Structures are given as C-alpha cells and as structure tokens.
Amino acid sequence: MDKSDSTVNNIGLKRIITDLLKMGVKKGDKLIFHCSLKSIGYVEGGADTLINALLNVVGEEGLIMMPTFTYSYEGNKGTLPYNKKKTSSQTGLVSDVFWRRSDAYRSDHPTHSVATIGKEAEKYVENHNEYTPPFGEDTPIHKLAKNGGLVLLIGVGHEANSTIHVAECLADLPFLHIKNKDTYGDYYLVERDDGSIERIPLSKKLSGCSKAFGRIENIKGIKEIQREGYIGNALCKLVNGNKLIELLVPILKKDPAFLLCEGVGECNCHRKRMMLVQRE
C-alpha cells in the first residue's frame, strides 16, 4: 500500500484517476462510495472533480451510487420534508453535488435516499420509498451488493459504511424497530410535487447507531475481501459488498449485540442491549 505524496498541494483529476486505478477500481465496476473530501487534500474543482474521476474510471458500463440521506422525520429540527427534487443531502457536500447532476437518479425514501449515475442507474433506485425500509432486502444498496458492487471508503472508516446496515436487516436483528437518535417522531415527512406535506408511518426496520462498526476490522476474513490504498492523502478501503454481507450476517445472528456501541443515552444502543437481555 503506497501512500500518496502528501507534499502535493493541489490534487487534480488525473491524480485521482491514477490513485483509483491503484486502489483496484476498474472499468465496469459498480460501487457505492462514502467520503471525506477534505481528507484527500485540496482538490482542484472540488466535489465535481472527484465524481468525474470515479465516472471516468468505471466508464459507461459502470455505476456509481452515493447515500443522500436527509433524515426527514417529523420533529427533527433542521431538516425539511423530503422532496427528491430539492431536499439537500445531509451526508456531505459531495453527496449533495452528486444527486443534483443532470444524469443522476435519486430514490424516493424520505430519510435514507440514495442517488445513482451510470448503467441502469434508474433500476437501482426503483421502489425505494416511504413504504419500504431504508435498508434490507432489495433496497438499492442491497441490489448493488448482489450485483457485484463494491464499497469505497475515502478518508472514512466503516462507521460510514451503509452496507453494514443491510447486513443488520438481513440478519433480522430483534431491535431494528427501536428509534435511533435522529428519530424524533413516528412519521416520515414527505413533500409532494404540489407542495402538500404527508405524514407516513415509519418503517418497522430502522437504521441504527454505527459508532461501533469499526469492529469489523477485527473479524476473521475481512482482510481477504478488503484492500487499502490512498487517494490523494486520504486512506481508503475498497470492499466487496456482497462478501461483506455474507461475512457479517452469521456473526450478527449469533451475537446480535456485536455492532452495538457502549454508549448510554442518545443512540439507544443501551436500550437494544436491554432488550436482548430480557429475551434471554
């Protein structure tokens, strides 16, 4: 694993393309990426340069997906009712730039939408809406994984890896209905195209705390499905999504608390632990 030259002040399109190729990203790949743009260094052209580099490397036969989460729950101050044509992403600048591109498709899920660009992009976001779980069977991230999709983490750890939430749902963890810190009411808020606002009951399978997701670095088999490298100055990981799910589901079925953090309070992991104890 070669570290990029941190003395380079400006990082342009060609440099990012070169580093992606060194990481193992190639033509025809399908991937979801999570990133910290600033971790790369000063990127000439900003978010669009990173997106253009990814699209250049995977080519016309490839696909890029990004989370564009908005957390549009009733009572969640600071967020607006969800309208996929105008509601800003709360998962970073790059994701907000990504979904606004003319060739992007965005799903209808009011709290955990994703956006896609590339081959069959629209297919991956179909039927992901206020009446379906954010993650789980046949949701966009699961579809991507099943079709050979990769997870690219740029300057972030597995705490940002949404594919792990898919594994939690497929393992059918008993506490998925317990609300996380982002949830303030029992309803999603959706803004229709005519400006009307609808309140939709929450899914019974909710995303949870991801603070402890870094634990997967220590499980047997993770090194075989993950490679590391650098894009600019950012330490990155490239992981096979489906193999990650296959690795995690049996672990989670055996130990549902494996990915719960040790905190007490806002994230509600302590409530989930209590539920597991009461079930024993």
For 134-155, the pLDDT digits (tens) are 999 999 999 999 999 999 999 9
Of residues 183 and 259, which shows the higher confidence score?
A: 259
| Helix, strand, or coil (residue 234) | strand
Q: What is the pLDDT of residues 95-136, one digit of tens each?
A: 999 999 999 999 999 999 999 999 999 999 999 999 999 999
Judge whether 190 and 132 are in contact, CB under 8 Å.
no
Residues with Cβ within 8 Å of residue 254, at least 6 apart in sequence: none
| Helix, strand, or coil (residue 274) | helix
Percent of the chain with pLDDT over 90: 81
pLDDT at position 181 is 64
Sign of CA dihedral 275, 276, 277, 279: positive
pLDDT at position 58 is 98
pLDDT at residue 164 is higher than 80: yes
Of the candidates 276, 144, 132, 115, the residue with the CA atom closest to the CA atom of residue 207: 132
87: phi then psi, degrees, rounded to nearest 5: -80, 125
pLDDT at residue 160 is higher than 90: yes
Average pLDDT, the chain: 93
Q: What is the pTM of this model?
A: 0.94
